[in-house]
Structure 1
């Protein structure tokens, strides 16, 4: 999950970033409203956290600008103002949640998870597909109760597949989810991540749930639901990634 924070209070930012990165969130920080607006012109985020007292513009006006531009990303306000009038103004501008300083990190973490779940239309903190289960809060994956050991990239890919279960996802969508347009590797690296993820899932008999849709991307199909005609499942063909190594070589190396 990618989070953008607009906050000039360096102490609050450091505390927040330290905890969020512990949960494998990818966090970026800007200190002004103009910087935040510029970031949204170029990148996509799963959550935006903003202060109200930014140096160049009020947080309320920044939120209004973003909402006028049809931004649907969840917005959380982080502020030292606890009065009802300020909170109402922030919600009226388009904020989705409001957290007062000093903030309790466990509560803030729970609020962040709830906001992002609602944004994806997921009411519960668990995503499931047949015997496969992903715990959004604990960031754990299991099959029939047996836990899988996934890398952060593998977890993020499976998270996106489950959040968009039944929909074809392009490699661009995976890259944006993993990197948000910043320092992105070549698109073919997604084939490597998918290949390694499939291998781990196949040890539990569910690797076939990730289906290749040639020329389009990948889809995760829930075997317990009535599905539309299934795209042909095929192995990822060897393709060059970076130097002379191909996808098959890199996949089987790890």
Structure 2
């Protein structure tokens, strides 16, 4: 998933970014509302973590800008405000959820998963296709009922495919989903990860097929 963290607190912003990247997510960090608005114009995101008290353009203004453009990207607000009136105002303004600071990172991850599930029309953390089951909560994979070990980038790549099976993904689109702006991988790295995931899927009834000139497609084996 490609995430945007909007947080002006240097320590908290870096902590969130590093932890999410260690889980294989593509994460960009904006330290101001204006920077967040610019990044959102350049790159579509799967989820935005939004602080409210930002220098210059406020978090509320960023949220309002998104919703005025009919952008339905899920927004999880991180706020120090704990009054019920503030929460109602945030939700009415278009926030999908909020978390009061200080917060537990485990709860943050759970709320993020819930928003991503809702946005993708899914009710559970488990995603299945054929005899392959991906558990986003446990970051685990099973093939025909047997557990298979995989690394974080491999997990995120397979998650992208399984969230939208039968969609053709270009290398560029895959790079945008799992790498940040300050990472500059060669597009050939996708070929390496696809090769690794294909090996993990041996014994399954699904496959990643190369569509020449277009990209890759996850489909059930014939």
Shared topology, TM-score over 0.5?
yes
Q: Which has the higher strand share?
A: 2
Separation in 1, partners of 2:77, 2:206: 42
Give the aligned partner of residue 36 of structure 1. Answer: 36
Higher relative contact order (CA 8 A, sep 6+): 2
* Among candidates 203, 218, 221, match of residue 220 of structure 1: 218
After superposition, where does 1:200-211 map in structure 2 within 5 Å? 200-202=200-202, 205-206=203-204, 209-211=207-209
Q: Secondary structure at the match of 1:209?
A: strand
Give the aligned partner of residue 142 of structure 2. Answer: 142
Contact 1:167 1:220 in 2 (8 A): yes
Give the aligned partner of residue 113 of structure 2. Answer: 113
Deviation at 1:63, TM superposition (A): 0.3
Contact 1:200 1:207 in 2 (8 A): no
Separation in 1, partners of 2:20, 2:177: 16
Separation in 2, partners of 1:190, 1:106: 30
Deviation at 1:199, TM superposition (A): 2.1
Separation in 2, partners of 1:168, 1:31: 34
Contact 1:175 1:187 in 2 (8 A): yes
Separation in 1, partners of 2:105, 2:183: 29
Q: Which runs of 4+ in 1 moved over 4 A?
A: none
**Which of the two has higher C-alpha Rg?**
1
Runs of 5+ unmatched residues, structure 2: none
Q: TM-score, normalised by structure 1?
A: 0.79
After superposition, where does 1:93-172 map in structure 2 within 5 Å? 93-172=93-172
Q: How many pairs were matched up?
A: 222
The one-character-per-residue Cα deviations of 1:99-148 (angstroms, maximum 9, x if unpaired) are 11121222211101111122222221011112111111111111122222
Give the aligned partner of residue 48 of structure 1. Answer: 48
Runs of 5+ unmatched residues, structure 1: 224-229, 231-254
Deviation at 1:192, TM superposition (A): 2.4
